[in-house]
């Protein structure tokens, strides 16, 4: 084991494992007797997989030559060691969580609103109602408005009001209606211009067709009158010739 880099010999490892087994059996016995305030020992899950099928009454595998005092001292030492390890792990996790919370503080604070009953003020923000606080929290009722005021000051530049002013809503509705009416009027104007152009084109075409029709009829009458007068003059010349004969 020393060649592999471990600094404990076989005797120390056996003693350590015996202490862990003794602590595991004590925790299991206490947890079986009462489910309130369960006792925990280091590596409980792993030890439960190894020793869970064995009866806890006989404490099989535990060195009975150890006195109760020595066993308790070893168990307490193991507990202190495990507590220190868990404390170091928890401190590391808390430090990493603080760093993450520092980076994401602005995003998280937007969704955090102090618990309680609130009323909507005239500017659209929530204000706590002091009468709605429980009796046990009467001492903290004076600090609650300060928290709300600090929250309002820190988020006044980016927070969205929870309720909107009715006048502002009506003004926005009025503006949207005016924009819609302007679009409808513009469309109607375009339609009127198109209809006017269409009617003007049809009127011009009708006038042109009427003028061409009248001119055509006039040409026909002219040709007909010319033929009539030419035929009558021929007949008069024939009559004159007959009379001469």
- Separation of alpha carbons 27 and 81, rounded Å: 17
Considering the entire predicted model, what is its pTM?
0.24
**Average pLDDT over all residues of the chain:** 68
Overall residue count recorded for the chain in this entry: 245
Q: How many angstroms separate the first and last alpha carbons of the chain? A: 170
| Cα distances (Å, whole numbers) of residue 243 to 122, 232, 236 | 125, 17, 11
Say if residue 141's pLDDT is above 50.
no
Are 79 and 23 contacting, i.e. CB atoms less than 8 angstroms apart?
Answer: yes
Confidence bin at 46 (pLDDT 50/70/90) = confident
pLDDT at 7: 75
Residues 210-231, mean pLDDT to the nearest whole number: 81
């Amino acid at each position: 084991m020393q060649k592999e880099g471990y600094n404990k010999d076989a005797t120390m490892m056996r003693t350590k494992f015996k202490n862990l087994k003794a602590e595991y059996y004590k925790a299991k016995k206490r947890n079986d007797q009462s489910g309130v305030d369960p006792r925990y020992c280091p590596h409980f899950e792993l030890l439960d997989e190894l020793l869970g099928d064995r009866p806890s009454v006989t404490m099989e595998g535990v060195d009975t030559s150890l006195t109760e005092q020595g066993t308790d001292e070893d168990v307490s030492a193991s507990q202190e060691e495990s507590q220190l390890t868990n404390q170091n792990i928890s401190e590391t996790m808390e430090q990493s969580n603080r760093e993450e919370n520092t980076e994401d503080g602005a995003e998280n604070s937007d969704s955090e609103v102090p618990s309680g009953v609130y009323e909507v003020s005239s500017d659209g923000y929530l204000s706590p109602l002091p009468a709605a606080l429980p009796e046990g929290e009467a001492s903290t009722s004076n600090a609650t408005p300060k928290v709300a005021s600090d929250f309002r000051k820190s988020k006044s530049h980016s927070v969205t009001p929870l309720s909107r002013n009715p006048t502002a809503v009506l003004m926005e509705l009025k503006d949207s209606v005016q924009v819609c009416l302007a679009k409808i009027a513009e469309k109607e104007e375009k339609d009127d211009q198109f209809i006017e152009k269409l009617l003007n084109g049809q009127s011009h075409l009708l006038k042109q067709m009427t003028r061409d029709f009248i001119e055509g009829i006039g040409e026909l009458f002219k040709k007909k009158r010319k033929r009539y007068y030419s035929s009558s003059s021929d007949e008069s010349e024939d009559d004159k010739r007959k009379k001469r004969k």
